[in-house]
């Protein structure tokens, strides 16, 4: 059985709960007739080894919610603005949506339809829907996390979107979906997490898609944390469309999974937008983590700045491929992109490819990449101040990572990530 056949078996044959979704699903299924699973011969996937996905057969999860505790997963700042999905299924009893401000909707598709939101104007409408993993997710849509803010609306507390996977002896595949619509002059902070409940060391596959639409002068601070089980496979897409004067700050943290890939795509649809992308990848053992980003500027006076850091240990492999397009129409753009990498062992591997494609002639753009190791003289200096070698290495790793972690606006999340960095061992 081919990999394509295996994955498309996960697309449900039952009609969607909202009949209007059928057209979206049908269109995506049509894309799959023309697309195939990428191989290393595909330039965009030449460093990503999909063989772990090829070797495993996955099944759709049971529609019954398994018992799960989120006591250690919930962040206190989102006590009244939390949405929880277990194995891709909405868990209302674990969600907390009390006393939301007027103009703020947080819920699943059924609740969004009941609230009269124009879901089908946005769902599945981002560019790139024909990409094979995105199309598989869209062709199987039955539910989605939905965050929708009306014009001139702000929510002060962060919104936590928890996508939790729990497995037994069955290799399951889930397809989490998120839709975020911030209408003009609205603002929010979202913490989106992909987690597992316990270290099962059993394979599972998450194929996630997030679509974000920012209206004129809307502002979103979005943190995406991937901390799946070490045996998991995670492929995700975050697609963002920005209207004029809107601001998007994205923080992407990659910690878990045996194999992970995050496609981060930003589309400028109005002038004078601001885009700030911050990324931190930490991989160990034989993990492989791939970040592909695209920032497509089409209007003048855009500002974009991207900093992505990778910490790679043992025989792990990290990949960064960042593209910034600045066509003739995007005059007076200010764009910067930097990828910094820290290799902690002789067998650790990084493939980095920052790219600028510029045809506009009145712009300020820069890009670069660095690869380094822990310096012996820095470790010696810290030892001379009374620290042992292990503590000195941890301190230097933390100093490298903290620049990204400190950009996350939620204190409890920063604290949790600081603990993860401290536990990251250097050879």
Among 254, 271, 250, smallest CA distance to 262 is for 254
- The residues, ordered by sequence, that sit 6+ positions from 336 with a Cβ below 8 Å of its Cβ are 304, 305, 306, 365, 366, 367
CA distance 236 to 249: 18
Q: What pLDDT band is residue 2 in, cutting at 50, 70 and 90?
A: very low
Q: What pLDDT band is residue 421 in, cutting at 50, 70 and 90?
A: very high
CB 61 within 8 A of CB 88: yes
CA distance 225 to 193: 5
Q: Mind listing the pLDDT tens digit for each residue in 322-357?
A: 999 999 999 999 999 999 999 999 999 999 999 999
- The residues, ordered by sequence, that sit 6+ positions from 268 with a Cβ below 8 Å of its Cβ are 242, 275, 295, 296, 297, 298, 299, 302, 330
Q: Model-level pTM?
A: 0.95
Residue 378 lies in a domain: yes
Residue 91 lies in a domain: yes
Q: Are 28 and 155 in the same domain?
A: yes
Lowest mean pLDDT among 82-96, 115-129, 376-390: 376-390
Q: Are 251 and 388 in the same domain?
A: no
Q: Are 237 and 101 in the same domain?
A: yes
Q: β-strand 145-149 against 104-108: which pairing, if any?
A: antiparallel
Residue 227 lies in a domain: yes
Q: Which of 270, 304, 334 is the last residue of a domain?
A: 270
Cα end-to-end distance, the chain, whole Å:
41
Residue 365 lies in a domain: no
Q: Are 138 and 257 in the same domain?
A: yes
Torsional class of 426: left (φ above 0), alpha (ψ -120 to 50), beta (otherwise) = beta
Residue 416 lies in a domain: yes
CA-based radius of gyration for the chain: 21
Domain total of the chain:
2
Residue 231 lies in a domain: yes
Q: Which of 270, 305, 334 is the last residue of a domain?
A: 270
pLDDT at 106: 98
Burial degree of 116 (CB within 10 A; 0-12, 13-18, 19+)? exposed
Residue 245 lies in a domain: yes
Q: CB neighbours (10 Å) of residue 12?
A: 13
Q: Are 245 and 382 in the same domain?
A: no
pLDDT at 6: 59
Q: Which of 245, 270, 295 is the last residue of a domain?
A: 270
Better-scored residue on pLDDT, 9 or 362? 362
Residue 82 lies in a domain: yes
Residue for token digits 């913490």? 191
CA angle, residues 425, 74, 89, in degrees to nearest 5 = 105
Residue 220 has pLDDT above 60, yes or no: yes
Q: Mind listing the pLDDT tens digit for each residue in 119-170?
A: 999 999 999 999 999 999 999 898 999 999 999 999 999 999 999 999 887 8
Which of helix, strand or coil describes residue 412? helix
Domain that holds residue 408: 374-427
Structure tokens belonging to residue 333: 């753009």
Residue 22 has pLDDT above 90, yes or no: no
């Amino acid at each position: 059985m081919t990999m394509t056949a295996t994955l498309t078996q996960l697309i449900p044959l039952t009609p969607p709960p909202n009949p209007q979704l059928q057209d979206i699903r049908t269109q995506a299924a049509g894309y799959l007739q023309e697309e195939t699973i990428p191989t290393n011969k595909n330039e965009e996937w030449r460093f990503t080894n999909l063989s772990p996905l090829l070797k495993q057969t996955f099944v759709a999860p049971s529609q019954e919610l398994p018992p799960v505790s989120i006591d250690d997963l919930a962040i206190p700042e989102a006590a009244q603005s939390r949405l929880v999905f277990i194995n891709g299924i909405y868990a209302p009893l674990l969600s907390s949506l009390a006393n939301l401000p007027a103009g703020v909707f947080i819920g699943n598709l059924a609740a969004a339809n009941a609230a009269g939101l124009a879901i089908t104007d946005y769902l599945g409408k981002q560019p790139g829907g024909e990409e094979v993993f995105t199309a598989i997710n869209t062709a199987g849509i039955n539910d989605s996390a939905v965050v929708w803010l009306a014009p001139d609306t702000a929510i002060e507390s962060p919104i936590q979107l928890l996508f939790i996977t729990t497995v037994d002896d069955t290799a399951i595949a889930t397809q989490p979906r998120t839709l975020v619509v911030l209408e003009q002059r609205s603002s929010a902070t979202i913490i989106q997490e992909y987690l597992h409940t316990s270290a099962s060391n059993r394979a599972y596959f998450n194929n996630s898609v997030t679509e974000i639409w920012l209206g004129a002068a809307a502002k979103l601070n979005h943190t995406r944390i991937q901390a799946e089980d070490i045996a998991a496979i995670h492929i995700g897409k975050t697609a963002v469309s920005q209207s004029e004067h809107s601001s998007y700050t994205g923080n992407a943290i990659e910690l878990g999974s045996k194999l992970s890939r995050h496609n981060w795509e930003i589309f400028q649809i109005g002038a004078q937008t601001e885009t700030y992308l911050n990324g931190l990848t930490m991989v160990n053992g034989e993990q492989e983590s791939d970040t592909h980003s695209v920032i497509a500027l089409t209007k003048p006076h855009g500002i974009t700045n991207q900093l992505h850091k990778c910490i790679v240990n043992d025989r792990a492999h990290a990949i960064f491929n960042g593209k910034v397009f600045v066509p003739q129409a995007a005059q007076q753009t200010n764009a910067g992109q930097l990828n910094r990498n820290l290799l902690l062992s002789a067998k650790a591997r990084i493939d980095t490819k920052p790219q600028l494609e510029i045809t506009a002639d009145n712009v300020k753009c820069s890009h670069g990449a660095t690869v380094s190791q822990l310096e012996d003289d820095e470790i010696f200096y810290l030892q001379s101040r009374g620290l042992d070698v292990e503590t000195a290495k941890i301190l230097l790793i933390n100093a490298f990572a903290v620049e990204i972690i400190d950009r996350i606006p939620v204190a409890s999340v920063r604290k949790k990530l600081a603990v993860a960095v401290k536990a990251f061992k250097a050879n």
